[in-house]
Chains A and B, each alone.
Chain A
Amino acid sequence: MKAFRTLASYLLMLALAAFLMAPFVWMVLVSLHPRKSEIPSIEHLIPHQPQWSNYDFVLRHETLPVARFFVNSAFTAVSVVVLQLLITSLAAYGFARLRFKGRGWVFGLFLGSMMFAGPVTQIPVYLLLRDLQWLDTFMALIVPGVSSAFSVYLLRQFFLQIPLELEEAARIDGAGDLRIYWKIALPLSRAALATAGAFTFIGVWTDFFNPLIFTNTTEMRTLEVGLSIFKNSYGGTNWPLQMTAAVIVMLPLLMVFLFTQRYFVKGITLGSIK
């Protein structure tokens, strides 16, 4: 009976994995078909001769600078992650470890903004960036993302768990708050920083709406927007190249996720109710 249940569980888990992964496997296989070929049927899904040159072709595409999109996305994502970790960890430390007047309601504002930002702010932020003449520059891609209420909340939850005794010991040794933040709180929260950083990286890399609105020249597009242009300019016909481009967008995400995934469970659940 027990063995039967175990077997059934494994079969179910495998079937589900197959269902969830099938589109990805298909994407990679199609990306290796010859350019401009028809959509392959299931029996012909595995390419006779894998066309690795498709990747080279897409990255060095003559009309769409995919390599440039890649650089834009990478530069934006790395800048946002670094700046955001710094800014939000400072705030999180302040909220978790320091008492000051108005702390409660300021933190409440952060929490509230997490619930309802959505489409409401898109037009005013666009106008603001336009007045600052930041549209179509890295400033527009980076600055709106350098802080996030979610990261503040996440890091605060971790900082709250650091034992007070550690802080007191450091104080007796003459350390100030900035030193405690830098030398104790941050090093102890490496896992939290990795979680927040990974969430941010994935969020920025996959953000479609903001770069779509805030940039308009081809040179300033990110990969995500570039991919949508790529799809439209091929009119849904050149599937192998479309899928090649899709793989190029996905790979960095997958790598960041695989390196940080052991923190994810902790991060998500801390971001919820506990």
Chain B
Amino acid sequence: MSLLRRRESRLGWLFVAPATLHLVVFALFPMGFALYISLFKWRLFKDSPEFVFLQNYVWSFTEGPFWNALWNSFRYTAVSVPAGMAVALGVALLVNQKLRGVTIFRTLYYIPAISSGVAVSMLWIYVFLPETGMLNLLLRMIGVSSIAFLQDSTWAMWALAFMSIWTGLGPKMVLYLAGLVGIPQSLYEAAELDGAGKLRSFWSVTLPMLAPTTIFVLITSTIGAMQVFTPVYMMTKGGPENSTDVVGYHIYTEAWVNFNTGLASAKSFVLLVIIGGISLLQFRLMRRQLEGYSAS
């Protein structure tokens, strides 16, 4: 028996070996190495590494542009994630009805999410064009004068957040759909017997039962939003007046435009810790809420 066990153990390791090796070489080792690099003052292609210990972290936080980037990412995330989730839940409720042809709509709604980020960014440059753009065309119909969304520092960030709701709808909607299907019908019947209306049973049955889905969607979309890069690179280059210089783009510039290798690594770790912190906080808060529901 123990011989068999040992054989199975060896075989198990053999099965997972290629993927684990890849994980070590392309994820775990690089993470460790990034931490090491972050302790050096080092400009790639320009000079050799000089050990400065935690100085890169100190420099990061004494810098206005880095704070600005953190603040921008925070604004972007705080708007795009909850709004995107609310829209996705609404759409999931809409397409969860037993209607003929509803699956075609579900498929259509998913398409923006599988599209090329660069192509989508090019499309939305047009949508946001002043005067001739699609959005301004709509605004003019309701009597609002033209806005240069991407050229105006008060609007550019919200324009990007708006676009992210469009691109991110599909996957969030599908997750919510799965959550909705998993809610036992008997709960709604019980709520109806207790005299609950549609709205009441949405608040007291649907939302609490969707809490695990909500935690998952909230955490994964926050992680994604805090790292947004392609649309910023394509559409605004961090401008106007650095109003869309989000952390993902800021770190890219630090690493691949200024070649501040050590400093960029330090900043990427700051981002990692912030994302980890937010995720943990969200998980804690939501779980407490979950437990509250299951107790009552």
Which residues in A have some Cβ–Cβ distance to B below 8 Å?
6, 9-10, 12-13, 16-17, 20-24, 26-27, 39, 41-42, 87-88, 90-91, 93-95, 98-101, 103, 106, 109-110, 113, 115-125, 127-128, 143-144, 146-147, 149, 152, 177, 181, 202, 205-206, 208-209, 213, 223-225, 227-228, 231, 236, 239, 242-243, 246, 249-250, 253-254, 257-258, 261, 264-265, 268-269, 272-274
Contacts and interface: CB of A to CB of B under 8 A. Distances in A.
B275 A118 contact: yes
B31 interface: yes
B114 A100 contact: no
A9 B16 contact: no
A224 B118 contact: yes
Most buried by A among B28, B30, B107, B116: B116
Given A98-B15, A147-B23, A17 B119 contact: no
Given A87-B19, A272-B216, A213 B256 contact: yes
Given A87-B22, A101-B9, A123-B34, A249 B118 contact: yes
B123 A20 contact: no
Is the contact region of chain B dominated by helix, strand, or loop, or is it mixed?
helix
Contacts of B27: 113, 117, 121, 149
A213 B257 CA distance: 11
Contacts of A225: 118
27 contacts: A6-B99, A13-B94, A39-B132, A41-B132, A87-B22, A94-B12, A94-B15, A99-B9, A109-B28, A113-B28, A115-B223, A115-B276, A116-B275, A119-B251, A119-B268, A121-B26, A122-B268, A125-B26, A177-B15, A208-B117, A224-B118, A227-B118, A228-B234, A231-B122, A250-B116, A253-B114, A268-B171
B126 A39 contact: yes
Interface string B234-265: 10000000000000100110011000010011
Given A91-B18, A103-B12, A120-B30, A246 B119 contact: yes
Contacts of A93: 15
Contacts of A91: 15-16, 18-20
A99 B110 contact: no
3 nearest A-B residue pairs (beta carbon): A94-B15, A100-B12, A91-B19
Contacts of B30: 120-121, 124-125, 128
B91 A147 contact: no
Contacts of B251: 119
Contact of B108 (A21, A101, A143): A21
A119 B123 contact: no
Interface of B: 5, 8-16, 18-20, 22-23, 25-31, 33-34, 37, 44, 91, 94-95, 97, 99, 102, 105-112, 114-120, 122-127, 129, 132, 134, 137, 166, 169, 171, 174-175, 177-178, 212-213, 215-216, 223, 227, 229-230, 233-234, 248, 251-252, 255-256, 261, 264-265, 268-269, 271-272, 275-276, 279
A202 B114 contact: yes
A257 B114 contact: yes
Nearest to B13: A100
A23 B123 contact: yes
Given A246-B123, A265-B174, A272-B175, A208 B118 contact: yes
B9 A100 contact: yes
Nearest to A209: B229
Contacts of A23: 120, 123-124, 126-127, 134
A100 B178 CA distance: 33
Contacts of A17: 105, 108-109
A257 B23 contact: no
A87 to B, nearest CB: 5
Contacts of A21: 108, 111
A139 to B, nearest CB: 12
